[in-house]
Structure 1
Amino acid sequence: MPAFATYPSLAGRAVLVTGGASGIGAAIVRAFAAQGSKVGFIDFNKEASEGLVAELGGDVYAEICDLRDIEAARVAIGALTARTGAPTVLVNNAARDDRHRWQDVTPEYWDDRMALNLRHQFFCAQAVAPGMIEAGGGSIINMGSTSWWEGMGGMAAYTAAKAAVHGLTRSLARDLGPHRIRANTVIPGWVMTERQKELWVTPEAIEKHKARQCLPDLIEPVYLARMVLFLASDDSAMCTANNYMVEAGSI
């Protein structure tokens, strides 16, 4: 593996990650733990969450919560804050890219996808912003998606939610910027998580996708985590309201 950067400003920093038990989220949690940060994460998968905490030890803590329940999310954030201190880094990672035919989408399904992929990003930011203001600054990192940039079909509710993340990021950057709180969007390409491998990765799909990329290698979760670390660190102190793509040049 390459030798990645160490950010002194992240040592001891309190970090909150949503959807941190698996996939990209787990890579982000591991990356912050390796920097010496105090990491709290929220996930609905109890077994995976406990396994990651046991693996990493130290200042890594989990709360089990369905982020569609905003009050439960607020309680979980409070419990993690009691253990790590008020987060000055928030990584809004939790989402599910379930496929769906446009003919089958009901109002109830649409609302559920918005709750699962968009709404909690705002309310988690709302919950941690006062602590960031008191601390004199912070970094909010929202996870977007290349799906809507590429004009993908078969997931209209998901792509709509992910497109809206960019508007949310820019509004948060404007509203919170006077407090030295930065907000940015990280945009993954097709990342080889276990979920992707189980559901959608085939030799044919891989070859077709690699033909779109400028780079020949597939994207592993660790590369998303490294971009998140940069945006969380003081090295990116003047970076806000922007998109940071990790998609190997596929767009």
Structure 2
Amino acid sequence: MKDAQATAVYPDLKGRTVLISGGASGIGEAMVRAFAAQGAAVGFVDLDREAGERLADRLSSAGHRVAFVHCDITDEHAYKAAIQRIADALGPVTVLLNNAANDVRHGLEEVDSQRFERLMAVNLGHAFLAAREVVPMMKASGGGAIINLGSIGWMMASPGYPVYAASKAAAHGLTRGLARDLGPHGIRVNTLVPGWVMTEKQLALWVDDEARELIARSQCLPGSVEPVHIANMALFLASGASAMCTAQNFIVDGGWV
């Protein structure tokens, strides 16, 4: 059955303001496109100015409400200002997707304290910052949804990126802590956990014949996990269809872990 890219329609997402970090490519781009197709007002940030502007122009030309802000999410003041610009342009943010991350490979001996802090900032720190900035908007709006992007990598004890693994494990902890604190305000917080997603970056850097054999052996389902599959789960978690879902992990990995 070729229904892998079928997308449900969530009427309550229409008109909502959504903020997506790392939205210019890969999983983030799929999310931007998916929420725009639902009629949401989508603000996204990315370090890649050219790709971000190109995506925003295409979607705006198609009649969608989209705002892109070029931003380094590890710069607290710049990211805070970008979030405010998006809220001013599109309205109060009630859906936050903390998607941006960098799974650059590194060994224990290669990481000094400065690099450790940079890796944690790009993989975890921005998520806390963005939540802090948008939660007042969500409270004033009567609720909202925060979706942190996790990873099956640390669950599998994958080698080659210990700080990334630590930051992604911490993202799951952030979800649990925020869910407890924010639940009384109608704000749901969940972790969306991708498997090995076939983004352009992954295909260019890491996916060779050996990797494809590993994926085929490890997944219960045949085929590839694509960015659209992650975006589809994000739509569900942002919508009222998941009204009583919070503090949970939602894994989209083809049945790997």
1:45 correspondence with 2:48: yes
User: 1 CA distance for matches of 2:144 and 2:71?
Assistant: 24
Question: 237, 240, 245: which is aligned to 1:231?
Answer: 237
Residue 99 of structure 2 corresponds to 93
Within 5 A, what are the aligned runs for 1:179-194? 179-194=185-200
RMSD of Structure 2 on Structure 1 (CA): 0.8
Are 1:111 and 2:117 an aligned pair?
yes
Q: Match for 1:236: what amino acid? A: S
* Structure 2 partner of 1:6: 9
**2:31 aligned counterpart, secondary structure:** helix
Equivalent position amino acid for 1:105 in 2: V
Q: Does the residue aligned with 1:88 lie in a helix, a strand or coil? A: strand
1:103: Cα distance to partner? Answer: 1.6
**What is the CA distance between 1:101 and its match in structure 2?**
1.4
In 2: Cα distance, 1:208 partner to 1:8 partner = 39
1:40-61 Cα offsets, whole Å, 9 max, x none, are: 0011110000110111112011
- Give the match for residue 58 of structure 2: 55
What corresponds to 2:87 in structure 1?
A: 81
Alignment of 1:156-175 (within 5 A): 156-175=162-181
Is 1:21 aligned to 2:24, yes or no?
A: yes
Identity %: 53
Which ranges in structure 2 are unaligned for 5 or more consecutive residues? none
Residue of structure 1 in register with 2:151 after alignment:
145
Of stretches 207-216 and 191-200 in structure 1, the one that deviates more from structure 2 is 207-216
Tell me by how many angstroms 1:104 deviates: 1.1
CA drift of 1:108 comes to: 1.0
CA deviation map 1:87-139 (0-9, x unaligned): 10000000000001112111111111000100110010000000000000000
Offset of 1:165 from its aligned partner? 0.3
Deviates further, 229-238 or 50-59: 50-59
Q: Secondary structure at the match of 1:39?
A: strand
Counterpart CA distance in 2 for 1:53 and 1:64 is 11
Q: 2: CA distance between counterparts of 1:123 and 1:4?
A: 31
The CA deviation string for residues 57-88 of structure 1, in whole angstroms up to 9 with x for no partner, is 12011001100001110000000001110110
SS of equivalent residue, structure 2 residue 193: strand
Q: TM-score, normalised by structure 2?
A: 0.96
Residues 1:32 and 2:38 aligned together:
no
Aligned to 1:42, the other structure's residue is in SS state strand
Structure 1 residue ranges without an equivalent (≥5): none
The within-5 A match list for 1:191-210 is: 191-210=197-216
Equivalent pairs counted in the alignment come to 251
Which stretches of structure 1, 4 residues or longer, exceed 2 Å deviation after superposition? none
Distance across 2 between alignment mates of 1:150 and 1:56: 37
